[in-house]
Structure 1
Amino acid sequence: MIYDTLDRIGEYRGMGEWLDRAIDFLENTDMERLPSGRTEIAGTDCFINVMETVTKEETQADFEVHRKYMDIQIDLEGMEEIQIGGTTEGEKFPYSEEMDFGTVLCEKKAACLLGRGRFILCMAGEPHKPGVAAGEPGRLKKCVIKVRV
């Protein structure tokens, strides 16, 4: 996991070709102007999803896992807590290769507040629980950049 401010994202270049492409995109794009849904950066190797949702109570959200992609998560409006799981205690929803998605149980966790101007990079295989309410549940507009590993 990498948790930092967007103005420092360029410092993470050199970790991979598709991550570098995502960083270039972030540094040269007005994220506020992106349409809802998917925007391709480099086909299926790097793309962005813009979505609106409502944050949830911690018990209503699950730790998700991806194996093919890293996630760069950025809040455009609103604020959420994102939790990073420690040791996996078992599967909740079995991993699907086709969807690159599964949910797991994690007893230990660390939490980060996102909000405007910050990002979190969740590595492939790293359990993470996005969309947790930072206080009362509220509206959230965010983008998730999927970066192939």
Structure 2
Amino acid sequence: MITDTLAHLGRLRGLHPNLDTAIDWLEHHDLAALSPGRCPVEGEKVFINVMDADLRDAAGAAFEYHRRYADLQIDLTGSEHWGWAADGTLQGSFDAAGDCGFAVGPEQAGGALGDGRFALFFPGELHKPSCRTPGCDRVRKAVVKIEMLP
């Protein structure tokens, strides 16, 4: 997991070719101009899901994880809390088509998005996005899906 400001996103160049593609796209396009839904960048390698999301309480919320994609989470309006855990107890079966599984356990790190900050979660990392922050229970956000493992 990496978290920083969008102004520093370019520092991550070279970690993975598909991440480089995402960074290049973000440097030349305005996320705020996108309509909700899926925005293609480079086929299934890089795409963006823009959504208006109701936020949830962090306490008791499940973590999600992916096997194929990294999630680059960016809030366009509002602010959300995110959580991270090194490990947890898997819940249910992994949805390979949706590249998503769930787990429960204690949050070991967390922070807030908004105001130009991002969080990048790599495949296998347990993360809990879309949690309320004081005074905010809804956000417009972009999740850049970056294929890391084919």
- Paired residues, number: 148
Moved over 6 A (4+): none
User: Corresponding residue for 1:30?
Assistant: 30
User: Corresponding residue for 2:74?
Assistant: 74
User: Corresponding residue for 2:119?
Assistant: 120
Matches of 2:91 and 2:108, distance apart in 1: 16
Instruction: Letter of the 2:140 partner, please give it.
Output: K
Decide whether the 8 Å contact of 1:74 with 1:116 is kept in 2: no
Pair 1:2-2:10 in alignment: no
Q: What is the CA-CA distance between 1:136 and the residue it aligns to?
A: 4.4
SS in 1 for 2:129: strand
User: Corresponding residue for 1:57?
Assistant: 57
Decide whether the 8 Å contact of 1:57 with 1:137 is kept in 2: no
Instruction: Letter of the 1:68 partner, please give it.
Output: R
SS in 2 for 1:22: helix
Describe the superposition over 1:14-42 as per-residue Cα deviations: whole angstroms up to 9, x where unpaired.
Answer: 01110000000111111110111000100
SS in 2 for 1:58: coil
**TM-score normalised by structure 2 residue count:** 0.94
Consecutive unaligned residues of structure 1, counting only runs of 5 or more, are none
What is the aligned-residue identity percentage?
38
Q: What is the CA-CA distance between 1:122 and the residue it aligns to?
A: 0.3
Q: What is the CA-CA distance between 1:60 and the residue it aligns to?
A: 5.5
Q: What is the CA-CA distance between 1:97 and the residue it aligns to?
A: 1.3
Describe the superposition over 1:36-70 as per-residue Cα deviations: whole angstroms up to 9, x where unpaired.
Answer: 10001000010000000111111353200100000
Once the two structures are overlaid, the 10-residue window that deviates more, 117-126 or 105-114, is: 105-114
Consecutive unaligned residues of structure 2, counting only runs of 5 or more, are none
Matches of 2:141 and 2:3, distance apart in 1: 16
User: Corresponding residue for 1:105?
Assistant: 104
Alpha carbon RMSD of aligned pairs, Å?
1.2
Q: What is the CA-CA distance between 1:112 and the residue it aligns to?
A: 1.1
Matches of 2:101 and 2:30, distance apart in 1: 31
User: Corresponding residue for 2:137?
Assistant: 138
